[in-house]
Every structure is written in structure tokens, then in C-alpha cells.
Amino acid sequence: MAVIEATPQNFNELLASDLPVLIDFWAPWCGPCRMLSPLVDELADEMSDRIVVAKCNVDENQDLAMQYGVMSIPTLVMLKDGKEAMRTVGAIPKPKLVAEVEAAL
């Protein structure tokens, strides 16, 4: 499944998913975000039957970032049944990312 661009217009629809939603809060100018982005894309492909993956550009969607208390980027937040089930801040290696996501499922 492709990564979905999270916006205020589609955010409620994203949260209505039966699957947990992993949101990557990022910005194009952020070096660690650019490092983490391919790993998030791989996760979206590898776990498409278990999670929905979305990316939220914090420059374009400041209200969503504020709503979820994003202070630093990259921040990954997993929402399960509308509640936060996992949060990581900063670029992390793929094995750690997979372990965090698995633990939250």
C-alpha cells in the first residue's frame, strides 16, 4: 500500500481505518527526516496488511503537528483505535523502528 499524505481534509478518514495508523511527521528541509523516509516507505510496503502509513508535512499542516504535540521532527506516532499507541522521535534504524511498531500492534 502506498504512503498516504496526511492533511486536515483526510485526517478523520485516516483515523477511521480498521488498521492502526503510523504517521510520520516530517519536513522537506529536515536531514534526519530524509534519512528516515525510505525506511517508513519500506514499512508501508512490508506491513501494508497490518498498518496504514501516512506522512504529515509539518510545514504545511502545523495544526495537526500541534494537535499531536510534535516538538521535534522526525516524529512517528502510531494511533490505534484513535489513541496513541507508540511514539518515536528522531531518525532510528529500521530494526528498532520495526520492533517499536510490532510492540505497539
**Looking at 22, 33, 52, 77, which residue is catalytic?**
33
Annotation says 33 is catalytic:
yes
**Looking at 23, 30, 36, 78, which residue is catalytic?**
30
**Radius of gyration from C-alpha coordinates of the chain:** 12
Of the candidates 28, 16, 38, 23, the residue with the CA atom closest to the CA atom of residue 88: 23
Neighbours of 59 (CB within 10 A): 12
Of the candidates 34, 35, 84, the residue with the CA atom closest to the CA atom of residue 57: 34
Annotation says 56 is catalytic:
no
Point out the residues that are catalytic. 30, 33
